[in-house]
Amino acid sequence: MIHTVRFEVEEKQVSSIEKMSMFCFAIGYDFILWAEAYHIYVQDNPGGCFVATASCGSECSRDVVVLTKFRDNFLRKSFFGRCFIALYETVAPPIAQWLKKGIRRRLFVKKYFISPIAYFIARWF
């Protein structure tokens, strides 16, 4: 299946291009080649993980520190990792806001998602 996507590219609007790139990343391999040709990269973001921070309650939590180090030391080194980060930074803030509204939501996400993922990453990476 062939999809056609039109982009308005301006050098000073890299962050908006990143958001568009992640929205269109699922379109297919042609977009990946386009993104590489235009050198689309994720800007450095020293902040913690949105969902992990919302569910754990602090950026100093062990799980948040593990996930942040994984992002900075592993994901940022590859094109697909940077694409994942850009997608996450687009999708995660509304999820984090939703999590902050209920303690049961936070506990559920922390127990069944964040902690197991952080454990696996800490053990294998």
CA distance 82 to 80: 5
pLDDT at 48: 64
pTM of the model: 0.63
Q: Which of the four pLDDT bands, split at 50, 70 and 90, describes residue 112?
A: very high
Q: Where are the domains of the chain?
A: 14-124
- What is the tens place of the pLDDT at every residue in 55-76? 998 888 999 999 999 999 999 9
Judge whether 114 and 63 are in contact, CB under 8 Å: yes
Helix spans in the chain (H): 14-24, 29-37, 50-56, 62-73, 79-100, 103-109, 115-124
Position 2, amino acid: I
Which of 3, 8, 71, 7 lies closest to 42, judged by CA? 71
Judge whether 49 and 64 are in contact, CB under 8 Å: yes
- What is the tens place of the pLDDT at every residue in 23-58? 444 444 444 444 444 444 444 445 668 999 999 988
CA distance 32 to 95: 26
